[in-house]
Structure 1
Amino acid sequence: MSNLSAQLSAFKNKIKSGPSVAVARKPIVKPSSPSNESPNKPSNNESSNNTIKRSTTSTDSTPERKRPRIPTTQEMNGAHLSTQLHLAVEFIKEQDQPVSIYKLQDHLSIDVQRSLLPLLKEIDRVKFNSSNNTFTYVSLHNIKNSDDLLEFLRKQTTFKGTSVKELKDGWTGCLAAIDELEEENKILVLRNKKENAPRLVWANAGGKIGEITDEFKKQWNDTKLPEPDILYQSLIDQGLKPTGADPSLINKKPQQQEKKQKKARRGKITNTHMKGILKDYSQLM
């Protein structure tokens, strides 16, 4: 082992003490150029040729824009197809008018006629017109403008109020129409306190909101209130408590409690198998 180390050390020392060989450098010879032109400036013919080559190269290298390929039904999985169906229904709902199949196809970039058309026909709220190939979204109340809303509200038989959420379904101009009709005092609107958004609407069957008619003022003034002492005593006589009344003066009606009648207990006969053997002594009691 020591012999191998000695040989390795001797080899390293031999390499270090050996002569170093320098690499010869070759001079760079510059091409000769005329005195009136700079050495690096190309001639007119060369520059024109370079310009033509650059323009040709740039024109040839520019890729042509191609229209995206429409995927087929086989290339779309179930999740992607469900997403495209949802987007199609929302797009038809937002238009407030019939949507052609070609416009829907450009919006979704898929083949609607092969992939989504059978599915859209199964949706009750979407109607397909085969004569002109258009889709129409059928809203819940089929209201499209302010006149339709007024006519619908005036036909209501109850005072429950119509939900704005139902009116917005398939009618994008719902909120603007409600604000306009409310400003004209044609409808009554109940709004949320936090967002001031309309929640319920009614038809205004009365006059201007915030004003009191002369007829109501006359009825108010003609109504006479009883004297305070008479009213005070009338409340006490009826068993009611006026403000500041003495509780001892109030006639309290006694509350009658209903007495529950106890039901007679009946004995349960257990020895029915000995009915013909035992004698009945109940008449002696």
Structure 2
Amino acid sequence: MSQLNDQVKSFKKSLNANTMLGVKRVATGTTTKQDDRSNKGPNATIANNTRRAFDGDKRKKPKKTSVYSQPADTGSGTHAMSQLYTVIQFLKDSDGPQSVVSITSRTKVNITKNQALWDKLASNNKIDFDPVNQTFCYKPTFQIKSQDDLLTLLISMKDSGGMDYKDLKDSYSKLGDVVEDLAGEGQILVVRNKDGNPRVLFYNDPEQNTHMDKEFKTMWSDIKIPDETDLPKELENAGLKTMDVFEKKVVAEPKVKRAKTRNKKIKITNTHLSHIDLSKDYVPKK
């Protein structure tokens, strides 16, 4: 009997020992310094020895923002005319000849692989092609490459009036800055649109800047301009005519064309029956 009790006790001991070996260490919300130190060892993940723990704590990935398909950046396009336009615009913005390599790198258009595009560019009347150096250059209407060039051009045109800014815009990429510099120095006069952009450029001729007496300027400033409604009457009282009178053209009234009467010759037929009265019914003779 005692031997049986000893076997039962030894069995229970072995059972308790196996139970302790199979218990998992469950991490709690708070850790002590001792646990911290133990977790730094090579068996730190033994309590949660899974693939996820091995690979690292892979938190739930945030949802990817849906990206809808957008139009691709086609750059210069694939159509020959759009590519030609892109190259010409690049040459227009460049102040000098451009090589084929420069054109290709800046516009993404390889004109060497498209003979039709090359021919159109080389034969364009606004493009200068140098066959020796294989360069292309935009040919503006007016050759302006500096501030002095613009001033010289306006001086040569002073007797013809001002010059439209839009006609000069393609001549020089820095034209806007040059205009503002010359206007600030008082060398040119600029007529601007409602947005403040240059519209017409004039040379400010010093010969036309006549000195005026201060008294005359005061008299000029003191003149009161009548209201718009009273202005025609005041002009009439002063013996002056408005511009409407000068510009009005007398339009002659169109003459009514009368139809011409033509004397048509009437050919008379059946002259051999002139002695018979055809208005009466025919009554045969008995």
TM bracket, shorter-chain basis: 0.3 to 0.5
Give the TM-score of the pair, scaled to structure 2.
Answer: 0.48
